Chain A
Amino acid sequence: MRGADYFIKRVVFAVVTVFVAITINFALFRLAPGSAVANLSRVPHATPETRAALKKEFGLDKSRGEQYVLYLKQLAHGNLGISFANQQPVSSNLRTALKNTIPMVLLGTLFAIIFGTFTGVISAWRRGTATEGMTLGTALTLYAMPTHWLGLMLIIVFAGTLPTGGMSDEFLINPSFTEHMQDLARHIFLPALTLGLVLFGEYTLIVRSAMLETLGEDYILTARAKGLKPWAIMRKHALRNALLPVTTLIALSLGYIVAGAILVETVFSWPGIGRAVYDAVLQRDYPMLQGAFLVLTVSVVFFNLVADLLYFKLDPRITE
């Protein structure tokens, strides 16, 4: 029963979090200096009547309270609204942007998870050796590097070899499936690598730290005393126990995948969700911002919930 209680509590907490976030999202953008009205009403030679008509058309003539109620009603019907900027449904704008973002960010994140965990383990296992110095130095350097700068350097280094930006070569005429896939791979390589390298540093440092903590535990000493092989100690006793903080980090990373990576997307002209949100902020495109942040909130809360539930499974102390 303790397990059911835990599960229900986490789910209720997640739902409340999403609702609070929805409300804050609504208020936050309207508190920022500047308003959507300023942009929308700036039509050349527009008469005051024209501007008033535009405000009415976008529902901006209504009070904040009325706008909020309207927003909640639309949301309850699964309608995220129409973008002020391009007059298209927000859900359609978000779908396009997410479809572009997720493969690139996922690839970069997976790269970081796999290689970061591996180097973190090696770094902790070889503590005090040149290997640790090298892996730690590399991780710190990459972690400290500004993402956009690293991206620009990679563009300059690989200019002429790999594409400088975009998702695919749109000038290719009737490419075969293989050609198309090769083209996509060439385009996704640098942005995913940039993101992956920066996250790699973070993963290495956290895994190393968690591993070092675990390696100092008594049960590791016991395992050594029992004469277990070093790799078995590492895999079965140290790594499994060190994975708890890593699980949180992975869950958070996966949650943020839908947020995209504004800097990487900007440097590589990647038409993803990060850039869409940035443009929406500049244009005070409230429906788009609300929609994007709703998706982000739900995603982060969902993966946190998954992490909580995994903890329940991974860490028996929670049920005690």
Chain B
Amino acid sequence: MRKTSAALFLLVTLAAGCGGSSSSSQEGGTFKIGTSSRIDSLNPYVAFNQDAYSTFMYIYPFLVQYDKANQKFAPDFAKSWSSSVDGKTWTFKTLSGAKWSDGQPLTAEDAAWTINTDVKYKDGGAANAAGLIAHIKNAEATDPNTLVVHYEAAVGNVLAQFQQLAILPKHIWTQHLGKSGNGLKTWANPAPVVGSGPFKLTKFKKDEIALFERDPSFYGPKPKADGFGLRMFSNDDALVAALKSHEIDSIEEVPPTAINALQKAGFVISDVPGADQTDFIVNSSPNKKSHPELQNPKVREAFDNAIDRKQIVDVVFLGKAKPAASIIAGSSGDWANPSVQPTAFDIDKANSILDGLGYKKGGDGIRVANGSKMSYEVITPTDLSSANRTFQILQPDFRKIGVQLTQKALDSTAAFDAMTAPNGKYANFDLALWDWVGLIDPDFMLSVVTCAQFEGWNDSGFCDKKYDADYSQQQLTPDQAERRDLVWKMQTYLQQKKPYLWLAVLDHVGATSKNWTGLIDSPQGPFNSLSKLSLTSVHQAG
């Protein structure tokens, strides 16, 4: 998913937990977080922004969540789970005695209803959840505390999918199905939202504030703070000024230029490896006819060697990033293939590769390949804040290898349209800069280079039958060690094919007042969609 269009496209990221140990603690108080992001909707069938999904994590039950280290699955509403021998049936034992915030009982029936509704309307009102119920036939509550989910085939990422699927109150949402489930998309789900989480969303003003209040009836561990608030800023300088003047207690994601100033001002800075990676896209579409040399893996290798990742890290991200190598970032833990390493910056090698291919330099220093100059347009989305400076680093280095780059800045919608043109064939564009923010489970990131995602998440035009077969296989490989080997193999394959030349993986930097402590570090942040742990642990320093 895009972070830049994270404004638009969803599901992961954010600020880092601010770790920090405290010797004494104080209960109560309202923890005030400032963000430059947005909660675009309170309806899970409409929302795309990360902050919306983080909100759902704290106000709705999920079957499972991630543990403190964000690597293994831990109980949430389901206290235990098991799968049948053939892997086609999963049984979840849910907590008894749980209640929704309006006092109605929360049971396995709510979970079954949510899953079945998503399956039934996946091509319509529930399209937003379609990816999370892939291969599910149906679900049933065999008793109030037992959920049984039936699959068409054994699936390899069952828990990762359920970690993202909010269970909705059946007694509320059945009233809003509308005609053919379309009502799922049109109901605002206004605050105060009926949910069941450590906090209740009591107040929501779009683009302004979301206020959460401790829910004493929550089935899990009780939060230490009375509540927390998310205040939305549309200007980074005002956001930083608000923290400095103690209008807020924490910033979700600190702009790199403000880190030193906040550190000097006595705020606790958390700096953890993030999941946001910038990339240099090479159009890999089989439909592209111009500049056929771009399809040559040796040309892409030369381009890869012409990228000075260290300079990008130092200049563009002021050191708060690391050179990137693979479609799966290190923050995904064991899923990242350690043998896939960033390509070294070596202009001589890049020149030698292109010389070897017979692409001679013309009088103007630009090489000629297949009768046309190696001169390419690079699309850069205007909302990718790092795009301009990154391009300014790439352009002179590519000039040294006889390749001319020109920038074409477009807003994200226009950029995506230009890249997929005409009619979803990806036949026109040459190169582009953008970024992706991955989840912990690799399935989503691996999907963005599949043929099935043409006009969907695919922004490289990469379509490879062998890769697609591996992608399907990893989805249907329940044995996680076996699946990991396959995921590693796919990363190696992508490194050879190079639809993306990965540039930098950004650190996640947050800042918090010394008056608060107890947040949990994560590649996302203090307010994330991975688990309910961080904001239930935060408390005032003693």
Residues of chain B within 8 A of A53, CB atoms compared: 123-124, 127
At the interface with chain B, which of A65-73, A79-87, A125-133, A305-313? A79-87
Residues of chain A within 8 A of B122, CB atoms compared: 50
Contact of A266 with B186 at beta-carbon distance under 8 Å, contacts A96-B206, A160-B245 already known: no
B114 CB, nearest partner CB in chain A, Å: 17
Whether A86 and B41, one on each chain, are in contact in the complex, defined by CB atoms closer than 8 angstroms, is yes
- CB-defined interface of B435-465 with A at 8 Å, one 1/0 digit per residue? 0000000001001000011011100000000
Residues of chain B within 8 A of A85, CB atoms compared: 40
Whether B234 and A34, one on each chain, are in contact in the complex, defined by CB atoms closer than 8 angstroms, is no
In the complex, whether B344 has a CB less than 8 A from a CB of chain A is no
Whether B413 and A269, one on each chain, are in contact in the complex, defined by CB atoms closer than 8 angstroms, is no
In the complex, whether B410 has a CB less than 8 A from a CB of chain A is yes
Whether B417 and A164, one on each chain, are in contact in the complex, defined by CB atoms closer than 8 angstroms, is no
- CB-defined interface of A41-82 with B at 8 Å, one 1/0 digit per residue? 111111111110110010000000000000000000000001
Our pick among B239, B247, B411, B452 for the contact of A34 (Cβ within 8 Å) is: B411
Q: Summarize B's interface: helix, strand, loop or mixed.
A: mixed
Contact of A38 with B416 at beta-carbon distance under 8 Å, contacts A33-B410, A165-B238, A166-B209 already known: yes
Whether A170 and B231, one on each chain, are in contact in the complex, defined by CB atoms closer than 8 angstroms, is yes
Whether A41 and B456, one on each chain, are in contact in the complex, defined by CB atoms closer than 8 angstroms, is yes
**A82–B131 Cα gap in the complex (Å)?**
26
In chain B, positions 348-369 with a C-beta closer than 8 Å to chain A are: none
Our pick among A43, A165, A171 for the contact of B30 (Cβ within 8 Å) is: A171
**A265–B208 Cα gap in the complex (Å)?**
12
Whether B417 and A33, one on each chain, are in contact in the complex, defined by CB atoms closer than 8 angstroms, is yes
Whether B208 and A167, one on each chain, are in contact in the complex, defined by CB atoms closer than 8 angstroms, is yes
In the complex, whether B74 has a CB less than 8 A from a CB of chain A is no
In the complex, whether A282 has a CB less than 8 A from a CB of chain B is yes
The residue among A46, A159, A275 with the most chain B CB atoms within 10 A of its own CB is: A46
**A38–B187 Cα gap in the complex (Å)?**
23
Residues of chain A within 8 A of B247, CB atoms compared: 163-164
In the complex, whether A267 has a CB less than 8 A from a CB of chain B is yes
Whether B232 and A269, one on each chain, are in contact in the complex, defined by CB atoms closer than 8 angstroms, is yes
Interface residues in A, total, Cβ within 8 A: 49
Whether A170 and B456, one on each chain, are in contact in the complex, defined by CB atoms closer than 8 angstroms, is no
**A170–B191 Cα gap in the complex (Å)?**
15
Whether B414 and A267, one on each chain, are in contact in the complex, defined by CB atoms closer than 8 angstroms, is no
Residue of A nearest to B448 (CB): A44
Residues of chain B within 8 A of A271, CB atoms compared: 205-208
Whether B127 and A284, one on each chain, are in contact in the complex, defined by CB atoms closer than 8 angstroms, is no
Whether B233 and A165, one on each chain, are in contact in the complex, defined by CB atoms closer than 8 angstroms, is yes
In the complex, whether A283 has a CB less than 8 A from a CB of chain B is yes
In chain B, positions 77-130 with a C-beta closer than 8 Å to chain A are: 122-124, 127-128, 130
Whether A44 and B457, one on each chain, are in contact in the complex, defined by CB atoms closer than 8 angstroms, is yes
B477 CB, nearest partner CB in chain A, Å: 18
**A85–B32 Cα gap in the complex (Å)?**
27
The residue among B127, B229, B242 with the most chain A CB atoms within 10 A of its own CB is: B127
Q: Summarize A's interface: helix, strand, loop or mixed.
A: loop
In the complex, whether B68 has a CB less than 8 A from a CB of chain A is no
In the complex, whether B374 has a CB less than 8 A from a CB of chain A is no
Whether A170 and B241, one on each chain, are in contact in the complex, defined by CB atoms closer than 8 angstroms, is no
- CB-defined interface of B316-339 with A at 8 Å, one 1/0 digit per residue? 000000000000000000000000
In chain A, positions 18-53 with a C-beta closer than 8 Å to chain B are: 32-35, 38-39, 41-51, 53
In the complex, whether B172 has a CB less than 8 A from a CB of chain A is no
Whether B444 and A44, one on each chain, are in contact in the complex, defined by CB atoms closer than 8 angstroms, is yes
Residues of chain A within 8 A of B245, CB atoms compared: 159-160, 164
A277 CB, nearest partner CB in chain B, Å: 13
- CB-defined interface of A151-175 with B at 8 Å, one 1/0 digit per residue? 0100110011001111100110000
Residues of chain B within 8 A of A82, CB atoms compared: 186
Whether A284 and B413, one on each chain, are in contact in the complex, defined by CB atoms closer than 8 angstroms, is yes
**A33–B128 Cα gap in the complex (Å)?**
25
B105 CB, nearest partner CB in chain A, Å: 29
Residues of chain B within 8 A of A170, CB atoms compared: 203, 205, 208-209, 211, 229, 231
Contact of A166 with B124 at beta-carbon distance under 8 Å, contacts A85-B40, A171-B32, A283-B413 already known: no
Residues of chain B within 8 A of A39, CB atoms compared: 8, 413
**A44–B129 Cα gap in the complex (Å)?**
8
- CB-defined interface of B179-223 with A at 8 Å, one 1/0 digit per residue? 000100111100000000000000101111101000000000000
In the complex, whether A17 has a CB less than 8 A from a CB of chain B is no
Whether A269 and B233, one on each chain, are in contact in the complex, defined by CB atoms closer than 8 angstroms, is yes
In the complex, whether B420 has a CB less than 8 A from a CB of chain A is yes
Residues of chain B within 8 A of A164, CB atoms compared: 233, 238-239, 241-242, 245, 247
In the complex, whether A88 has a CB less than 8 A from a CB of chain B is yes
In the complex, whether B134 has a CB less than 8 A from a CB of chain A is yes
**A166–B208 Cα gap in the complex (Å)?**
7
Whether A43 and B420, one on each chain, are in contact in the complex, defined by CB atoms closer than 8 angstroms, is no
A80 CB, nearest partner CB in chain B, Å: 15
Whether A38 and B417, one on each chain, are in contact in the complex, defined by CB atoms closer than 8 angstroms, is yes
Residue of B nearest to A170 (CB): B209
In the complex, whether A200 has a CB less than 8 A from a CB of chain B is no
**A53–B187 Cα gap in the complex (Å)?**
18
Our pick among B233, B241, B412 for the contact of A159 (Cβ within 8 Å) is: B241
**A34–B187 Cα gap in the complex (Å)?**
27
Residue of B nearest to A85 (CB): B40
In the complex, whether B468 has a CB less than 8 A from a CB of chain A is no
Our pick among B10, B234, B241, B455 for the contact of A275 (Cβ within 8 Å) is: B234
Whether B9 and A87, one on each chain, are in contact in the complex, defined by CB atoms closer than 8 angstroms, is no
Contact of A266 with B235 at beta-carbon distance under 8 Å, contacts A33-B418, A88-B188, A282-B7 already known: yes
B226 CB, nearest partner CB in chain A, Å: 10
Whether B234 and A269, one on each chain, are in contact in the complex, defined by CB atoms closer than 8 angstroms, is yes
Residue of B nearest to A36 (CB): B413
B303 CB, nearest partner CB in chain A, Å: 26
A5 CB, nearest partner CB in chain B, Å: 48
In the complex, whether A203 has a CB less than 8 A from a CB of chain B is no
Whether B32 and A282, one on each chain, are in contact in the complex, defined by CB atoms closer than 8 angstroms, is no
**A219–B171 Cα gap in the complex (Å)?**
80
Residue of A nearest to B47 (CB): A86
**A177–B154 Cα gap in the complex (Å)?**
61
Contact of A38 with B413 at beta-carbon distance under 8 Å, contacts A44-B457, A87-B185, A96-B206 already known: yes
Whether A87 and B456, one on each chain, are in contact in the complex, defined by CB atoms closer than 8 angstroms, is no
In the complex, whether A268 has a CB less than 8 A from a CB of chain B is yes
In the complex, whether B244 has a CB less than 8 A from a CB of chain A is yes
Residues of chain B within 8 A of A268, CB atoms compared: 235, 238
The residue among A156, A163, A165, A283 with the most chain B CB atoms within 10 A of its own CB is: A165
- CB-defined interface of A137-163 with B at 8 Å, one 1/0 digit per residue? 000000000000000100110011001
B55 CB, nearest partner CB in chain A, Å: 14
**A32–B414 Cα gap in the complex (Å)?**
8
Whether A165 and B456, one on each chain, are in contact in the complex, defined by CB atoms closer than 8 angstroms, is no
Contact of A43 with B231 at beta-carbon distance under 8 Å, contacts A33-B418, A165-B238 already known: no
Additional 12 contacts, C-beta under 8 A, given A87-B185, A282-B383: A32-B414, A45-B131, A45-B453, A45-B456, A49-B123, A50-B124, A82-B186, A96-B206, A165-B242, A269-B234, A271-B208, A275-B234
Q: What are 21 A-B pairs with beta-carbon distances under 8 A?
A: A33-B414, A34-B415, A43-B127, A43-B131, A44-B11, A45-B456, A50-B122, A86-B46, A86-B206, A152-B235, A159-B241, A163-B242, A163-B247, A170-B203, A170-B208, A170-B231, A171-B211, A265-B234, A267-B237, A267-B238, A283-B8
* A-B interface, 9 closest residue pairs, ranked by CB to CB distance from nearest: A45-B131, A34-B414, A34-B413, A33-B414, A170-B209, A160-B245, A271-B207, A44-B131, A164-B242
